[in-house]
């Protein structure tokens, strides 16, 4: 792969939000690949790194809104781990492949699309910068 965005989506929030985006026919580019997880807190740095090793253009971790994680601390941990992964990537000189953590509610398909567009924009910008 080289243009795909790998998105780890929490089944309590982002996954249903993505479903809703489809139901509402809010079209978005085909390069998104969603991996369903029980909580954003399941995702660790190694999953993000492996996605990049396989050639992902960007990685997203999407979890519940602040203060509303189904598992209390999963989304805040995910945020920390994404930050940590960014550091791990930066220290090996990989700064052109964006990784981001966003919080959204299951009924926010528009936010889901916004996050996706933002990520695609970042991919484009970092490619151009290169």
Contact footprint for other proteins (CB under 8 A): 1-4, 6, 11-12, 15-16, 18-23, 25-30, 32-39, 41-47, 49-56, 64-65, 67-74, 77, 81, 88-89, 91-94
- b (16+ CB within 10 A) / e for 85-106: bbebbeeeeeebbbbbbbbbbb
Judged by beta carbon, residue 31 or residue 122, the one nearer other proteins is 31
Among the listed residues 54, 64, 77, 124, the one whose alpha carbon sits nearest the alpha carbon of residue 96: 124
C-alpha span between 22 and 28 (Å, rounded): 9
Work out how close the CB of 86 gets to other proteins at its nearest, in angstroms, rounded to a whole number. 12
Work out how close the CB of 115 gets to other proteins at its nearest, in angstroms, rounded to a whole number. 14
Q: What is the CA radius of gyration of the chain?
A: 14
Work out how close the CB of 84 gets to other proteins at its nearest, in angstroms, rounded to a whole number. 9
Judged by beta carbon, residue 54 or residue 114, the one nearer other proteins is 54
Judged by beta carbon, residue 100 or residue 112, the one nearer other proteins is 112
What phi and psi values does residue 52 have, to the nearest 5 degrees? -70, -35
């Amino acid at each position: 792969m080289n243009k795909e965005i790998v998105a780890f989506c929490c089944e309590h929030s982002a996954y249903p939000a993505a479903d809703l985006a489809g139901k509402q026919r809010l079209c978005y580019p085909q390069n998104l690949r969603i991996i369903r997880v029980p909580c954003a807190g399941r995702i660790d740095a190694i999953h993000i790194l492996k996605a990049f090793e396989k050639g992902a253009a960007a990685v997203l971790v999407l979890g519940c809104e602040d203060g509303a994680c189904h598992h209390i601390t999963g989304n805040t941990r995910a945020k920390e781990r994404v930050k940590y992964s960014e550091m791990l990537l930066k220290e090996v000189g990989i700064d052109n492949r964006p990784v981001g953590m966003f919080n959204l509610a299951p009924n926010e398909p528009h936010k889901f699309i916004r996050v996706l567009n933002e990520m695609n924009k970042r991919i484009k910008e970092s490619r151009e910068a290169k």
